[in-house]
Amino acid sequence: MDATNHNQNKSSSGIWGAAFAVMLAISGVLGFLLFQEKQETDKQSTEISIKARDLAITHSKLDSISRELDAKIAQVQQLGGNIEELQKLKVQLEADKAAVLKNKNVSVAKYEKKIKEYEAILTQKDEDIARLQEENGQLTNQNQQLSQENTTIKTDLDNTRRSYSDSVSTLRTNNKELEDKVTIGSALRAENVRVLAVNKRGKERSNDENEYKGRKTEKIKVAFTLAPNPLTKEEPKDILLRVVDPEGAVLSDTETGSGVFSFQGKDMQYTYKQSVRYSTNRPIVEMLYTRGQDYKKGKYNIELYAEGFKIGEGNFVVR
């Protein structure tokens, strides 16, 4: 009985030992699997973090290139270069930036290659910009040179115009002086001016002293000869007579044909006007003036004018 129980207890102990061994083995396997899964999870988490970091760096590089590209576009445009190619590149770059943010499974290596291509293009554009700056510098120098030449030409032209204007002005002055000389040269000249007294009966009296009695003088006759002048046109000429009394007043009466004329820029009164046909054969002119009242005593001066010139003078005395 005791032996039987002993054997039964021994058999039970073996079963429990075997079961424990199996459970221990299973636990070991499960622990190993759990450990392996944890390592795999940690590895994936690490890879995701690295990928996220790499994508962030890639996007940052693309963004930096985008800003640099904007600066290049502005420079090329300012220098007058063609920006069409750079604008297309800008569109492509913005699309790449958006793709990096949108898709987490993109290839970082692929975009690293693109970044190098973008950087190479920017480097090339630096060379193009340097070339444009040099060309613009040359154009600026040429423009400055042309501007200086234009200034010189304008100055020369202004000097030429001024010289021409001065020459024309001098020529006009000379012509005016010549015209004045010709005009002066063509002026009439009264010779042998004599004054005769005419009484109421029409009888003329004259003497070498040209002295007459006032009560016997109703009219005066001024006689003279027009000297020949080849520069003077043979045509009718208006002769103006001025009779100045002893007090310096001009005898004037519109009813007897008096009026006003211009002489040397001043308006002057004349006593009497008569039209005379001028010729070169020394015509004799007689101008008869009727005052209509007695002459007061004193010396009277006679002045003769024609075509803006004083052509002769004389005098007479009333006693």
Give buried/exposed letters for 239-264 (b at 16+ CB in 10 A, else e): bbbbbbeeeeeebbeeeeebeeeeee
Write the CA distances from 99 to 53, 57, 67, 113, integer angstroms: 16, 14, 18, 15
pLDDT tens digits, one per residue of 221-239: 999 999 999 889 999 999 9
Q: How confident is the model at residue 20 (pLDDT cuts 50, 70, 90)?
A: low
What is the Cα 127 distance to its own chain's centre?
39
pTM score above 0.75: no
What is the number of other CB atoms lying within 10 angstroms of the CB of residue 190? Answer: 22
Kindly state the average pLDDT of the residues 78-97: 86
Q: What angle do CA 182, 260, 217 make, to 5 degrees?
A: 105
Between CA 309 and CA 226 the distance in angstroms is 14
Between CA 172 and CA 181 the distance in angstroms is 14
Q: How confident is the model at residue 178 (pLDDT cuts 50, 70, 90)?
A: very low
User: What pLDDT, on the 0 to 100 scale, is given for residue 60?
Assistant: 83
Structure tokens at 249: 């007043």
Residue of higher predicted confidence among 65 and 305: 305
For residue 7, pLDDT beyond 90: no
Reading phi first (left if > 0) and then psi (alpha if -120 to 50, else beta), residue 259 is in beta
Whether 241 and 273 have beta carbons less than 8 Å apart is answered as yes
Between CA 280 and CA 272 the distance in angstroms is 24
- Mean pLDDT estimate for the chain: 82
pLDDT tens digits, one per residue of 108-136: 777 788 888 888 888 888 888 888 888 88
Q: How confident is the model at residue 194 (pLDDT cuts 50, 70, 90)?
A: very high
Kindly state the average pLDDT of the residues 173-201: 75
Residue of higher predicted confidence among 190 and 157: 190
3-state SS of the chain: helix, strand, coil percent to 5?
A: 55, 25, 20
For residue 43, pLDDT beyond 80: no
User: What pLDDT, on the 0 to 100 scale, is given for residue 104?
Assistant: 66
Task: Collapse the DSSP code of 13 into the 3-class scheme (helix H, G, I; strand E, B; otherwise coil) and give the result.
Answer: helix
Angle between helices 84-102 and 2-78 (to 10 degrees): 160
Side chain identity at 88, as an amino acid letter?
K
Whether 287 and 303 have beta carbons less than 8 Å apart is answered as no
For residue 62, pLDDT beyond 70: yes
Structural domains in the chain, CATH included, are 1-185 (no CATH), 190-318 (2.60.40.1930)
For residue 4, pLDDT beyond 80: no
User: What pLDDT, on the 0 to 100 scale, is given for residue 257?
Assistant: 87
For residue 251, pLDDT beyond 90: yes
For residue 24, pLDDT beyond 90: no
